[in-house]
Amino acid sequence: MKLKAGIAFGAAVVVWQLIFGFAGLYKNPALAWVFPAVAIVITAGVLFWALKQTAAEGKRYWGLVGTGMVIALIACVLIILGSLLYTGVLFPDYAELGLAQAAEKIEASGLPQDQQEMQMKFAEWLAGPVPQAVSGAVMTLLTSFVFSLIIAAIVKQK
């Protein structure tokens, strides 16, 4: 169950990421919230489905939470690979758009020039494919942990 659910979770997020990219939604800053919102719904849905089945097999609360985290770790492998493909190959302009927005905010901050340059260097590093992939995986693990805590309390055997 864990492997099947983890692959389903990761694949669903990657497919959603590709839809988001090919539809050009990443180009509109007003729609930036759409990707994580749908990814959170995918997270909740897959974890509820998997943990409900696992609870029926007799696992208790912390066993269910642990199962949720194993599922998330499996999903993260696919999510990292999908993110690297997305930002490094398919949509390399994704980072450029984010950096342009960051540059505007940094320039408008009124900070001294040397601090603005330092912030811009950090923003450039953060926009790279690897930091983007790692941050996506970290957020996946965090949201999966919270959902696993909640869902395990709902579906656990009495």
Amino acid at 52: K
Amino acid at 73: L
- How does the average pLDDT of the chain come out, rounded? 92
138 within some domain: yes
Q: Which domain holds residue 17?
A: 2-91+129-155
68 within some domain: yes
Q: For residue 70, what pLDDT is reported? A: 97
Q: Which of 35, 14, 36 is nearest to 90 (CA)?
A: 14
Torsion of CA 74, 76, 81, 82, to 10 degrees: 110
34 within some domain: yes
- Split into its structural domains, the chain has a count of 1
82 within some domain: yes
Residue 11, class by beta-carbon neighbours within 10 Å (0-12 exposed, 13-18 middle, 19+ buried)?
Answer: middle
151 within some domain: yes
pTM (two decimals): 0.87
Tens digits of per-residue pLDDT, 75-123?
999 999 999 999 989 998 888 887 888 888 888 888 888 888 888 889 8
Q: Is the pLDDT of residue 136 over 60?
A: yes
